[in-house]
A = this chain, B = another copy of it.
Amino acid sequence: MMDTGRTPLPGIADIRAAAARLEGLIVNTGLIESEFLNEKYGARILFKPENLQRTGSFKIRGAYNKISSLPDEQRRNGVVAFSSGNHAQGVARTAQLFGIKAVIAMPSDAPFSKVDNVRRMGAEVIPFDRFGADRMAVVAPYRERGMALVPPFDDPAIIAGQGTIGLEVLEDARQKSVHIDAVIVPCGGGGMIGGISLAMKDGSPDSEIWAAEPENFDDMRRSLEAGRRMSNLPGHASICDAILTAEPGEFTFEINRHTLAGGIAVSDDATIEAMRDLASALKLVVEPGGAVGLAALGSGQVDFAGKCVVVVLSGGNVDLGSYAKIIAKS
């Protein structure tokens, strides 16, 4: 671990240790490519399809690494998390694999299908009012019983777990004998891009790492420019529900400020076009927040022409009805 003088940040050794823990439990999602998309976008694009990961997103990597890092006696008490989305599934499936209890706090207006998914993995779902005063009070009784809180991104073990994506990318690039000029990663709280950037800076130091964010939720981009953590302004909406966070995490920003080349903000319309391209050319169902990397590549804000670019597709957990509406637009 790097020592910042405060709390230790994860380093490449932690990511390698995470990869050893995850071996055989997660899917090595490989890298896939489309001749049509290479032509259309004018770059060689290697997609990292984490929508094909167990639970339909990358989140199980961090959740599993975190929970397996807990001391045995603490883990036996079970775990608790806040999430209505991909993190909830990652935590619930991991708890099921360990045979321990998971309690997931979800907003009381969460879609039934998401509640049902998590329950099918054996987790207990407790509702909370998303506009209520004190979310932590909801999980307090569980934490008092010794259940560990599994945070969604701002935690060294979570970051190290997501960083295993970077190790897979490096190994596949080596096997394909390609040099990676850039990696574009969907960015919410910044845990996944933080972990990936640590792995890439170790194995391919001159690869540029770019954060892709929805317009008006480009807190990482603005924070990198300002040199300090900036929050998103209220009053905006985006279809990219999986990556709408208020601001970068403390740990994640401390990593990303050193490792990232910058951020690229994309419109929902650009994300929709990317989702359609991913369905028609790659045959992949990708959720809005998972498709922003391709939208960022296509936006022209950064010149990737002729480069070899890895685009991370972070997940595919989208309600089929909404998905059908999105891809029906032309």
Contact = CB atoms under 8 A, between A and B. Distances in A.
A282 B29 CA distance: 13
B320 A56 contact: no
Given A27-B32, A276-B320, A320-B276, A56 B283 contact: yes
A320 B316 contact: no
A307 interface: no
A285 interface: yes
A4 interface: no
A54 B35 contact: yes
A122 to B, nearest CB: 11
Interface in A282-310: 282-286
B324 A327 contact: yes
A145 interface: no
Contacts of A283: 51-52, 56, 284-286, 316
A94 to B, nearest CB: 13
A169 to B, nearest CB: 17
A interface bracket (residues with beta carbon within 8 Å of B)? 20 to 34
A42 to B, nearest CB: 15
Q: Chain A contact residues: over half helix, strand or loop, or mixed?
A: helix
Interface in A303-330: 316, 320-321, 323-325, 327-328, 330
B279 A323 contact: yes
Nearest to A50: B283
Contacts of A120: 36, 39
Interface in A1-44: 27, 30, 32, 35-36, 39
Given A283-B285, A324-B327, A328-B321, A52 B32 contact: yes
Contacts of A74: none
A69 interface: no
A108 interface: no
Nearest to A317: B283
Nearest to A315: B283
6 contacts: A36-B120, A51-B283, A283-B285, A321-B330, A324-B324, A324-B325
Given A56-B283, A285-B285, A323-B327, 10 more contacts: A52-B282, A52-B283, A279-B285, A279-B323, A283-B285, A283-B286, A284-B285, A321-B328, A324-B328, A325-B328
